[in-house]
Chains A and B, each alone.
Chain A
Amino acid sequence: MEYIIEMLNIVKEFPGIRANDDITLQVRKGEIHALLGENGAGKSTLMSVLFGMYKPESGSIVLRGEKVHITGPKMANALGIGMVHQHFKLVHNFTVLQNIILGVETTKNGFLQINEARKKVMALSEQYGLKVDPDAYVSDITVGMQQRVEILKMLYRDNEILIFDEPTAVLTPQEIDELMNIMKGLAAEGKSILFITHKLEEIKRVADRCTVLRMGKCVGTVNVSDVTIEEMSEMMVGRKVILNVEKGEKEPGSPVLEVRNLTVKADKSKKNKLNDLSLQVREGEIVCIAGVDGNGQSELIYAITGLLSPDSGQILLKGEDITHKSIRYRNTHGMSHIPEDRHKLGLVLDYSLAENLMLMEYFEPRFQSGGFLKKAEMYKHADQLIKKFDIRSSEGARTRVRSMSGGNQQKAIAAREISRNPDLLLAVQPTRGLDVGAIEYMHSQIVKARDNGKAVLVVSFELSEVMRLADRILVIYEGEIVANVKPQEVTENELGLYMAGAKREAAV
């Protein structure tokens, strides 16, 4: 079968690192081709080479059988290569239609021919089942719809080769399903799709073939139907990966966190964000909160950590009422928090790794005396954690966190929070954006904390994670706990019903 695009023997070097080492990637017309690799395996570099942002040391790009020399993203676009970035590139105060035509506006005597554009967009939207409201402002639409706008942008520019960079990272399970269908539809219409991801289930679901990268090298290209998920993950990580969490039975002890009748009101007259919510997390227990994003998870965690003060209710940590205590007090009295938004909350991106690793403890006598920081101690502490948690960065403890990969940033937060040896560990979406190896590691750390008698509260939108990790599952729906179940006693389907609000346990 003919290849629509081939990247042959690409080598790209950066000082001290060979990011792409003789990588060959061949995509057939009309196929969904997955590009699989851990964070830092060289996927982004390869795509930057394809878009002409980096000049490779050697290797060539062949498009429809002809060797091409791509000088920049504009040229790539003109050649029919389009990309949906992980972080969307949309103008928020423009409408959907305006965003789609931005940069390729049809004009007549200098006037915008918006109606022609609208017709074309609506036709494309119809053809590929990409439901969008062309006149809605991007700031008002859901993430899923924003992604559809990005896809329409590529189609509007008549792109034949569509690249999706980790498209599912920001989507809910339902939106993921929809995206998978859209991708299949696009491929059926003759578009060629390159699907960059590290989620194996998704590859299994949609991709025809898969090229695996590891540490800058090409491990191989396989037919997805010929291999199992385990085999793919082994190719990616380079060793056998335990996808299931190994954890023994453990009898929970006394309660560490108690939330009593917590209510957080919403602005205006909307429904309460949290409505009279009560829960308990005990020593040696992992409680997972399952639910669709936006059902009060964030408010619950913010209230527990003190980032938000509840309208009523009580929060008890080890029996002590901390409802009105400061954030610092909670942090120093046994609470650790791995936040969902690592860029906004978890890290000071312009600080070094070492500084970030002591962010919660810089005021402790260990790191300061008389108000002066002990830099030597700071670096010692950082080096220990870097080694113990295998945090990779270009310059070790001195690396500016902004320049680190997302997975390693997450590892840094986890290292900081877990190493503080908390009584209560709060983890929100702890494995979001992590690759298989890192997920395995993060899960084992959480289980280890629990085995050491810590209380762990995990918020996750991924049912598979909830099922694997939890000792007890609480389902949250519209600010209320609607189910309190053990993972052994429930199916994913049932959980889905609770999450959608279609079912509710009588007792809770």
Chain B
Amino acid sequence: MRAKREKMGLAGPDLSKAAGPISSIGAIIVGLLVGLVILFIANPEKALSGFGWILGGSLQSPKDFGNVLYYATPIVMTGLSVAFAFRTSLFNIGASGQFIMGAYGAVLVGVQCKSLGSFQWIVALLAAMVFGGLWALLPGILKAYFNVNEVISCIMTNYIGMYLVNWLVKSTVYHKLTNRSLPVAATANIPKMGLDKIFPGSMVNGGIIIAAIVSVLIYILLNKTTFGFELKACGFNKDASRYAGINARKNIVLSLLISGALAGIGGGLLYLAGSGKYIYVEDILSPEGFTGISVALLGMSHPIGTLFAGLFIAYITVGGSYMQLSGFVPEIIDIITATIIYFAAFALILRGILQKFRSRKAGDKG
């Protein structure tokens, strides 16, 4: 079978590659089963019909599936952000702050640079990327040059970012009556790219296509380039990378910069979606940044895996929202979808077990 896969050009460098998707799917199944148990505890009579909604709710109409794509877009980006940093063995828990910084960058250009015309959305998205990237540069530099743990500095930049954006929105693009940012110009919205024809009535837009393209680009960057080779080498073994003459500090900074840029694009894509999203001036961290951690874990930190993981979590979320039709209150729905996501994130542990099992079977000769 391995020979066959090799012929098809699918074989990876080692056996453990197959363990990735298998354990992710296994984790999803476990997550769903646990969700089902909670449904039975919450409301035994309606449990099965509620579970049906979770599984199939997103497939009812093209509109629903379009919404899945819409919800998936930002979390795919934050997932990529976290996954990318993971590959350099950095834990970017600051995606939330970078996300909202990116969102602000996009909204700022979207509101104020109307003269750009049809290029406005592109510039706005670039601004989102730059804002997100620069916001991650701070923990990156602290980590590389002062050895400050990135987890701590990232958590701090989450809060600083949130308050900073509140202040920036208030002083630049504020609509006082609604306590939120001004609406962006129509030319700043991400084009639909024909998706509105396929999924009429939904909030879908070209953002998901951009997210998918970025996933592929990140895959190529990590696996096909010397830069990716260096980044991963640093992630696996910092000392050996140094020995090989790789500048570990530079790589830490660049890794977080790119990671932040990805989260920033996520913020841009959500707030330029043309779905009536505004930055509210309130003291709440963007949840997309934290969902990104689950997405990255479920996706095994693999860019393409992350894309599918984001889609899956969006799928569950949209399906779950229909459970109200079975009489579940929104809070229970949140708990159940969170449970499924939570258990799905155990994929990494499952892979560890799988690998252990394999290596035991194969045995280390000696």
Please list the residues of chain A having a beta carbon within 8 angstroms of any beta carbon in chain B: 12, 14-15, 17, 19, 39-40, 42-45, 48, 54, 305, 307, 326-332, 337, 339, 344-352, 354-355, 359-360, 362-363, 367-368, 371-373, 375, 394-395, 398-400, 403, 405
* Interface SS of B by simple majority: helix
Q: How far is the CB of A402 from chain B (nearest CB, A)?
A: 9
Inter-chain contacts of A328 with B (CB < 8 A): 245-247
Q: Is B283 engaged at the interface, CB distance under 8 Å to the other chain?
A: no
Do B245 and A327 have beta carbons less than 8 Å apart? Answer: yes
Do A14 and B14 have beta carbons less than 8 Å apart? Answer: no
Interface string of B213-249 (1 = CB under 8 A from A): 0000000000011110100110011011111111100
Please list the residues of chain B having a beta carbon within 8 angstroms of any beta carbon in chain A: 11, 13-14, 16, 224-227, 229, 232-233, 236-237, 239-247, 359, 361-366
Do A339 and B224 have beta carbons less than 8 Å apart? Answer: no
Cα-based distance from A45 to B365 in the complex (angstroms): 6
Q: With A327-B245, A373-B229, A403-B359 given, is the CB distance from A43 to B240 under 8 Å?
A: no
Do B365 and A40 have beta carbons less than 8 Å apart? Answer: yes
Q: With A345-B240, A351-B233, A373-B226 given, is the CB distance from A400 to B14 under 8 Å?
A: yes
Number of A-B contacts defined by CB within 8 Å:
106
Known: A15-B361, A331-B244; 17 extra A-B contacts, CB below 8 A, are A14-B365, A44-B365, A44-B366, A45-B365, A326-B245, A328-B246, A344-B240, A345-B240, A346-B243, A350-B236, A352-B13, A355-B229, A372-B226, A373-B225, A400-B13, A403-B364, A405-B365
Do B365 and A42 have beta carbons less than 8 Å apart? Answer: yes
Do A368 and B226 have beta carbons less than 8 Å apart? Answer: yes
Do A398 and B13 have beta carbons less than 8 Å apart? Answer: yes
Inter-chain contacts of B362 with A (CB < 8 A): 14-15, 394
Closest to A378 in B: B229
Closest to B224 in A: A372
Closest to A407 in B: B366
Inter-chain contacts of B361 with A (CB < 8 A): 15
Do A352 and B14 have beta carbons less than 8 Å apart? Answer: yes
Cα-based distance from A398 to B6 in the complex (angstroms): 12
Q: With A349-B237, A368-B226 given, is the CB distance from A360 to B244 under 8 Å?
A: yes
* Interface SS of A by simple majority: mixed
Most buried by A among B244, B245, B246, B359: B244
Cα-based distance from A344 to B229 in the complex (angstroms): 18
Cα-based distance from A35 to B239 in the complex (angstroms): 35
Interface residue from B240, B359, B365 paired with A17 (Cβ < 8 Å): B365
Interface residue from A43, A344, A360, A399 paired with B14 (Cβ < 8 Å): A399
Inter-chain contacts of A399 with B (CB < 8 A): 14
Q: How far is the CB of A38 from chain B (nearest CB, A)?
A: 10
Cα-based distance from A398 to B13 in the complex (angstroms): 5
Cα-based distance from A352 to B244 in the complex (angstroms): 16
Do A359 and B240 have beta carbons less than 8 Å apart? Answer: yes
Question: Could you list some 29 contacts between A and B, CB below 8 A?
Answer: A14-B362, A15-B362, A19-B365, A40-B365, A48-B363, A305-B243, A326-B245, A328-B247, A329-B245, A332-B245, A344-B237, A345-B240, A347-B240, A348-B233, A348-B240, A349-B236, A349-B237, A351-B232, A352-B13, A354-B13, A359-B244, A363-B226, A367-B226, A371-B225, A371-B226, A373-B225, A394-B365, A395-B14, A400-B13
Do B239 and A345 have beta carbons less than 8 Å apart? Answer: yes
Q: How far is the CB of B359 from chain A (nearest CB, A)?
A: 7
Do B224 and A373 have beta carbons less than 8 Å apart? Answer: yes
Do B13 and A337 have beta carbons less than 8 Å apart? Answer: no
Inter-chain contacts of B364 with A (CB < 8 A): 44, 403, 405
Cα-based distance from A339 to B242 in the complex (angstroms): 12
Inter-chain contacts of A394 with B (CB < 8 A): 362, 365
Q: How far is the CB of B34 from chain A (nearest CB, A)?
A: 31
